[in-house]
Amino acid sequence: MPSYRAPVEDVTFLLNDVLGIRRYDNLPGFSDASDDVIEALLNEGGKLAGNVFAPANLAGDKEGCTRNDDGSVTTPAAFKKAYAAHIEGGWNGLSVPEEYGGQGLPHVLNTAISEFASGANLALAMYPGLTQGAIAALLVHGSEEQKQAYIPKMVEGSWTGTMNLTEPHCGTDLGLLKTKAVANGDGSYSLSGTKIFISAGEHDLSENIIHLVIARIEGAPAGTKGISLFVVPKFLVNEDGSVGARNGVSCGSIEHKMGIHGNSTCVMYYDGAKGWLVGAENKGLAAMFVMMNEARLAVGVQGLGQSEVAYQNAVAYAKDRLQGRALTGTKEPGKVADPIIVHADVRRTLMGIRAFNEAARALALWTALQSDIAHRSQDAKERQAADDLLGLLTPVVKGVLTDKGFANAVEAQQMFGGHGYIEEWGMSQFVRDARIAMIYEGANGVQAMDLIGRKLPKDGGRAMMGFLGEVQTFVKDHGEDEQLKALTGPLQAALDDLQGATMWLMQNAMAKPDNAGAGATDYMHLLGLVALGYMWGRIAKAAIAAKAEGGDAERMDAKLVTGRFFAERMLPETALRLARIKAGSDTTMALAAEAF
């Protein structure tokens, strides 16, 4: 059976040595997250993931969810105990303000813990994950009454949350939304319509489910300007806060999916369900985006989590499986064959995943830290810079970490040969589960378009200029450092490619927007490569410093080697991405639709 060990040591190193979390002790909540608190949190979160979530993963996949005739949904038996342990630990409220029952700790810690949970058991981690998204939306846009009514229960975990956007004919293009809301005259609305792909829409893990639903109020403008956000509880909430009558929302069916079988993906029927407006009328999209942006970061981290767990199990197999002899001569003469980790092609695969995972973890935490700074700093300039980075990097974290996370799960599965294709080994599940992360919360092509069409031109390109400047400064400051040259040289070349691509787009995409569309995905990955390369630069710098200060030399040397592997073999992909972008859209768009 596959296993999972949370990368606690690596996260600790990233928070302390690479990101310098102590530099932010002036921000609310950070000084509460003392070194001891962080250590305890990571260790406990790691244990929960490794000892409780992970053992329920394969069973959850096999058993899946069942919709019963009465419309209720039964989740896998193994999930109940694990979810109970999760809420007992109070994990939902880690970064929620204390006034709503949370601990008010930095979001960056939450991100670390969510990697552990989603690496160990993605289908299970989605239930609290969606709850946290719902909390985030209510925190920003809900009324005080709504916050008090819903958030503490969701922090407790006795209630869970969902987000209801998609309809059968309406995915990315939310302007096509049909679900209707009719004012009841008492401040509430009656919602009617069908929502699909609703994760955790109906299940037996919590006493109540708080649906956040976008709908169109009767008479609202067409398109995205007429969308409002509503909170629609499965059970109405009595004045005293207790659970009341059943609302007019039900699960019509559950989907048969490629993976995340343990998560109930529901078709939800709203049949005059009672709901209350969250935020202003017709401003639902902006409110939903709070939830979406938070969710997009979290989904990127899911991609990393699957990449990490697949890697760990591939490593264990590669050390254990005896097959063939090393090209450089027998390594284990006492055994019938050498373990396959001696083979260079196996090593190449493992090093490639590892070199991605460590930098991707740094990138996810760095991005989450921007969220903390953007929301908690007293300094307007600092807030703006952080918000710029957060906006720019969110689609990159979502798109690149899930594309590569999935590809890495496939590569890790490949290490098992035929055994990788057999469900009992668990590698197939990692691949099937990782696949969803490329799709939900905005398919990765949509992330690329968001990056190139919104985030890049916003404020005259200020966010991108800030990022390019930061990386350039790093390279300049450390370009003469002999120990870092193996990284800074290739990073400069990659940065030049990114600058070249950005310039080319500025010159060629305004007049011909398809040039942007045809290059969007390549641009997202190009930016991702530079960001990961920059993370490797910072990791290497911190590793060298840690060694000098007497840190674990073996572990730090391994990081330096892995960073060089990234620089030699992975960063040069930027040139290919640039070539593709510069090819423009002529051949891409030349054929008539009928010619396909």
CA–CA separation, 45 and 60 (whole Å): 20
Give me 434's structure tokens: 């990782």
Look up 441 and say whether it is catalytic: yes
304 vs 112, 296, 308, 539, 567, CA distance in Å? Answer: 11, 13, 6, 17, 19
Binding mask of the shown chain, residues 192 to 211, with x at each position contacting a second copy by CB under 8 A: ----xx--------------
Q: Considering just the CA atoms, what is the radius of gyration of the chain in Å?
A: 24
Give the residue with the Cβ less far from a second copy, 244 or 445.
Answer: 445
Given a contact cutoff of 8 angstroms between Cβ atoms, the answer to whether 148 and 136 are in contact is: no
Give the residue with the Cβ less far from a second copy, 139 or 326.
Answer: 326
Give the residue with the Cβ less far from a second copy, 198 or 531.
Answer: 198
Give the residue with the Cβ less far from a second copy, 380 or 591.
Answer: 591
Binder among 14, 304, 341, 487 for a second copy (CB under 8 A):
341
- Residue 489: CB partners within 8 Å, gap ≥ 6? 567
Given a contact cutoff of 8 angstroms between Cβ atoms, the answer to whether 505 and 516 are in contact is: yes
Give the residue with the Cβ less far from a second copy, 38 or 446.
Answer: 446
Residues 559-578 that bind a second copy (CB under 8 A): 561-562, 564-565, 568-569, 572-573, 575-576
Binder among 86, 296, 541, 580 for a second copy (CB under 8 A):
580
Phi, psi of 30 (to 5 degrees): -70, -40
Count of residues that bind a second copy according to CB under 8 A: 93
Output the smallest distance, CB 569 to a second copy, in A: 5
3-state secondary structure (DSSP) of residue 197:
strand
| DSSP sequence for 510-549 | SS-HHHHHHHHHHHHHHHHHHHHHHHHHHHHHHHHHHHHT
Output the smallest distance, CB 32 to a second copy, in A: 35
Given a contact cutoff of 8 angstroms between Cβ atoms, the answer to whether 360 and 366 are in contact is: no
Binding region for a second copy (CB under 8 A) out of 116-124, 146-154, 531-539, 583-591: 583-591
Binder among 324, 476, 481, 548 for a second copy (CB under 8 A):
324
Residues 139-178 that bind a second copy (CB under 8 A): 166, 169-173, 176
Marked catalytic residue, from 255, 441, 482, 573 = 441
> Tokens 């109070």 map to which residue?
90
511 binds a second copy (CB under 8 A): no
Binder among 280, 465, 510, 589 for a second copy (CB under 8 A):
589
Strand bridging mode 208-217 / 159-164: parallel
Output the smallest distance, CB 47 to a second copy, in A: 22
* Closest alpha carbon to 111 in 432, 521, 401: 401
320 vs 1, 2, 337, 420, 562, CA distance in Å? Answer: 14, 13, 11, 14, 22
Give me 505's structure tokens: 């787009």
Binder among 319, 454, 476, 485 for a second copy (CB under 8 A):
319
Give the residue with the Cβ less far from a second copy, 357 or 371.
Answer: 357
Binding mask of the shown chain, residues 343 to 362, with x at each position contacting a second copy by CB under 8 A: xxxxxxxxx--x--------
Output the smallest distance, CB 298 to a second copy, in A: 17
234 binds a second copy (CB under 8 A): no
3-state secondary structure (DSSP) of residue 180:
strand
**What angle separates helix 458-478 from helix 513-548, to the nearest 10 degrees?**
30
Give the residue with the Cβ less far from a second copy, 52 or 448.
Answer: 448
Residues 416-435 that bind a second copy (CB under 8 A): 417-418, 420-424, 428, 431-432, 435
Residues 431-490 that bind a second copy (CB under 8 A): 431-432, 435-436, 438-440, 443-445, 448-449
Binding region for a second copy (CB under 8 A) out of 20-28, 275-283, 285-293, 323-331: 323-331
Output the smallest distance, CB 150 to a second copy, in A: 26
Cβ of 169: how many Cβ atoms within 10 Å? 11
Binding mask of the shown chain, residues 61 to 100, with x at each position contacting a second copy by CB under 8 A: ----------------------------------------
- Residue 335: CB partners within 8 Å, gap ≥ 6? 322
The CB-side HSE value for 442 (13 A sphere, CA atoms) comes to 27
Residues 522-551 that bind a second copy (CB under 8 A): none
Given a contact cutoff of 8 angstroms between Cβ atoms, the answer to whether 538 and 477 are in contact is: no
Output the smallest distance, CB 541 to a second copy, in A: 18
Which positions are annotated as active-site residues? Answer: 441
